[in-house]
Amino acid sequence: MQKRKSSADELIALILSGIEEVKGHDINLLDLRDIENTVCDYFIICNGTSNTHVNAIVGSIQKTVSKAIQDKPWHVEGSDNAEWILMDYVNVVVHVFQKQVREYYDIEGLWGDAKVTSVESSFNQ
């Protein structure tokens, strides 16, 4: 099976679908394209309720993206303690936090110049 080139929009949609599949919370999309010297074009940030939930979100994202476009993250960090797992898809970087860790690091605050889109979940939190 040959890997095909996907657009950032398609990748983002698949990542969001993977998060929604296992009920990830407080999903934000940060558009970094208008900021100079950024490492990627987009951040997707969400949180889970426990390390098990964070791992489930990451697994769901990987499965959804791999199945649809045969792509996998270039790098994954933080899987050992699952308080903050970073998934690097090159142009899109996904941050999956436990809630208290997300509040502590405040990625949205650090990237205050980014255009932030809050993604509505299809389930009640």
Strand partners for 46: 96
Q: Is residue 123 part of a domain?
A: no
Q: Is residue 40 part of a domain?
A: yes
User: Which residue segment(s) compose the domain that 86 sits in?
Assistant: 8-117
For residues 78, 1, 67, 117, the Cα torsion angle rounded to the nearest 10 degrees is 70
Q: Is residue 73 part of a domain?
A: yes
Q: How far apart are CA 88 and CA 68, in angstroms?
A: 17
Average pLDDT, the chain: 92
Q: Is residue 35 part of a domain?
A: yes
Whole-prediction pTM:
0.91
- Contact predicate 84/76, CB 8 Å: no
Q: Which run of H or of E encompasses 77?
A: strand 75-77
pLDDT at 120: 84
Q: Is residue 23 part of a domain?
A: yes
Q: Is residue 22 part of a domain?
A: yes
* Residue 2 confidence class, pLDDT cut points 50, 70, 90: very low
Q: Is residue 125 part of a domain?
A: no
Domain count, the chain: 1
Q: Is residue 122 part of a domain?
A: no
